[in-house]
Structures are given as structure tokens and as C-alpha cells.
Amino acid sequence: MSNSLLDSKRIVLGVSGSIACYKSADLASKLTQAGALVDVILTEAAQQFVTPLTFQAVTGRTVYSDLWNRDGHVQHVKLGESADLLLVSPATAHTLAKLAQGFADNFLTVTALAARCPVVVAPAMDGGMFAHPAVQENVALLRARGVVVIEPKEGRMASGLVGKGRLPETAEMIGHIRRVLGRNGVLAGKHVLISAGPTQEPIDPVRFISNHSSGKQGVALAQAAVDMGAEVTLITGRIHEPIPFGVNHVQIQTAVELHDAVMAVIQEQDILIMAAAVGDFRPKNPATQKIKKEMDGVPTIELTRNPDITVAVRAWKAVNHAELFMVGFAAETQNWLENGQSKLARKGLDLIAVNDVGGTQTGFRSATNAITLLGKDDLMIEIPLQSKEAVAEAIMKQVAKMLTV
């Protein structure tokens, strides 16, 4: 699926000789599917594990494997200068050493010297080699020079040993790449707090009152904010969506916990986006033991009101004269425009995303959504039915626009 951050980005993927090379074929494929133009450079050792044809097939582009026999010896300069990102993955101990010392003995290392773009390396090696002081010194040297180092993961390696040296899986690698590509985006330097997912209000230790929110829309907003360079804190209820890489994740269960988590960090934020579906009520006296069906009659559950978090933030903002841009959501099944306008005013929001949750293609759990953004001075923007990722991007662009005018 195409992604606007990766679309048409030129990524040079250097692959050095490790068993983890096969993972880079998947990475090259996924980046290409997301719209990136991936130029692969294979070292001689990498070609012992994978062939140029593998990468050519998944990227649809020429693969570079030899220093001198292509379009002349300045090809590396062209690649290095035109790239938006150079990623070396997997980076073996040998290639790390060469990059750290400025060696220029193969196509990958000369391209790295010619690169004017951000450089990212993903070390992968077996047998505890990553912990060796020589490797660690090379990694430290590269880091000091501004190279982004993706730490290898702990786990079982090809030798059967368990330790730190595994190349992260593709989804995590793409998360790192997105963070680096987005770091000078329009929201660079901004702190964004996003809430997502449902709250669960305990009735007893095994039951709760909740709603259908999956967290998809809020998680997509967090990824869109990262792509635009923001520092993102994402507070979620219990959800199954993967948390975007580079996001500071806080998990809560109840509305009161969400309130406390929001208020604990609100001071550092520039933007608050409340996409969570917060329970308005909770059982007043949750039972400490499981309520038994053998008891006499049917239990009556007395409810009490939960704090309105958005209203609490608004009050905090007024007292502290804070410059906080506040975005709320309105989940509506009818009279959406009137209800949205009323929540915009009542909750003191700068923008509200009105979400029709009555259908199957929009609102809770769906992969797609459609939103109407309402703001002050009769601002009204329709975001038509599309993926929740694309909706999130459109919302974040509008927020960025309103912040910068």
C-alpha cells in the first residue's frame, strides 16, 4: 500500500554478507510496495547468501554488485547524492568497521562516502560479536558522526546461540526508516499527545463496561504525527494494534487512568488529540470478588460519571495560559453536525473530527473512515471515505496548517 512519506523516496539499501540478508529482500519488497524507489547494493559476501536477481525482482530496479563494470566509476556518486536515505542492512562487523574507518573498497563503502543523506545501519551478527569492544567502538564512532544505528534484537541466532545480534523484523525496520525520513517534517520539535482505543470500567474482577474502539484511528494518527517529525506520546486502552515505532506508549484501562495519564504529561505538549472512546460512566462500587450468578436476583449496577478529560484539559489550559492546540473527536450516529458543533464549543476545542459511527465502513473497528472536521469561524472540511491511515494524514496536515498560520 502506497504511503505518502515513502512515496517516490530514493532509498539506497546496502546489503552485506550475513544470513539476515534474506530479511532485506522482504524489506526491499515492502518499501517498493509503499512507493519507495529502492536501489540495492550487494557486497560480494552478500551474494553468497542472496542473488542480485532476488532484489531486482522485488524492486524492479538495477541492482549494484560490482564497483567498476556498470555505467562508469562515478555511479556511486550519483547514487550517494540522489538518495534520501542510505540504509545498510544487515551491516556485518566487517562492513561496520569499514564504514567507521572510511574504507572505500567496494560499491557500498564508496557510496557511503559519497552519501549526503541520512545514513542508517542495522548491525546483525552471531556469536556475541556485537558485544565485542571493537564492534562497539565502531558503532560509537558511527553514532558520533550522526549515523543512526538500529540496535539488533535479542534472540536465537543462526548458530543456535541466544544473544543480541538478530536483525529486527521488516515492520520495525520500516518504523525506523519512517522516523528518520520524517524527522525534519512540519511538526519537527512539536510534542503531540494522542489518546486511542476504548476504556474499560470494571464491574468486578472479571467483567467490565467498554465500547467497540479498536484504536486503529488513534494509532494511525500517531504514525502520521511521527512521519511529520513530531515527538509523540500515545495513550491507549487495551488494544491489539501494533504501536508505531518511535512513539512513547502509555497503556491505561479506565477513564480515570486516562485522565491521570493525560494530566501527567499535558504540560510538555503542543497538540492534544483525543481519539479515544472514553466511557462517560463507570460502576460506582465495583465488586472486589466475582459476582456470582447463584446470588438472589439480578444485580443492579449503579453508575457514576467519569471525568471529562477534554474539559479538564481546557480548565488546565485556561489557568496556565498554555498554548495547547486541542483536537477532539465526536462519535455520532445522528445529528452529527449539530452534535459536533456543540461539542466543539462545550469542550473548548480548536478542531473536532466528527465521525459517523453508524455504518460499517466508518467509525469503530473498520479499516476505513470518513470524517468532517469542524473548527472556529465556520471551518468545515470533508475528509472522504479512505483508509484510516490516509484520514489520519489529512487530519494531521490540517492541524499543522492551523498551527503554522
Residues 227-256 interacting with ligand PMT (rule: CB under 6 A): 255
Q: Is 11 in the site for ligand PMT (CB under 6 A)?
A: no
Rule CB under 6 A: choose which of 172, 204, 257, 308 binds ligand PMT: 308
Instruction: In whole angstroms, give the CA distance from residue 382 to residue 375.
Output: 12
Instruction: In whole angstroms, give the CA distance from residue 119 to residue 142.
Output: 9
The Cα-based distances of 158 to 121, 162, 167, 403 in angstroms read 20, 9, 11, 50
Rule CB under 6 A: choose which of 3, 18, 200, 217 binds ligand PMT: 217
**Judged by CB, which is closer to ligand PMT: 213, or 223?**
213
CB 371 within 8 A of CB 355: yes
Identity at 162, one-letter amino acid code: V
**Judged by CB, which is closer to ligand PMT: 252, or 275?**
275
Number of residues that bind ligand PMT (CB under 6 A): 29
CB of 122 to ligand PMT, least distance (A): 31
CB of 172 to ligand PMT, least distance (A): 22
**Judged by CB, which is closer to ligand PMT: 20, or 313?**
313
CB-count burial class (<10 Å; 0-12, 13-18, 19+) for 240 = exposed
- Catalytic residue list: 211
Taking CB under 6 A as the binding criterion, the range among 48-56, 226-234, 296-304, 327-335 that sits at the site for ligand PMT is 327-335
Write the secondary structure of 333-379 as one string of H (helix), E (strand) and C (coil).
Answer: CCCHHHHHHHHHHHCCCCEEEEEECCCCCCCCCCCEEEEEEEECCCC
**Judged by CB, which is closer to ligand PMT: 150, or 220?**
220
Instruction: In whole angstroms, give the CA distance from residue 367 to residue 151.
Output: 32
Residues 270-289 interacting with ligand PMT (rule: CB under 6 A): 274-278, 280
Tell me which residues touch ligand PMT (CB under 6 A): 197, 213-218, 255, 274-278, 280, 306, 308-310, 328-331, 343, 347, 355, 357, 363-365
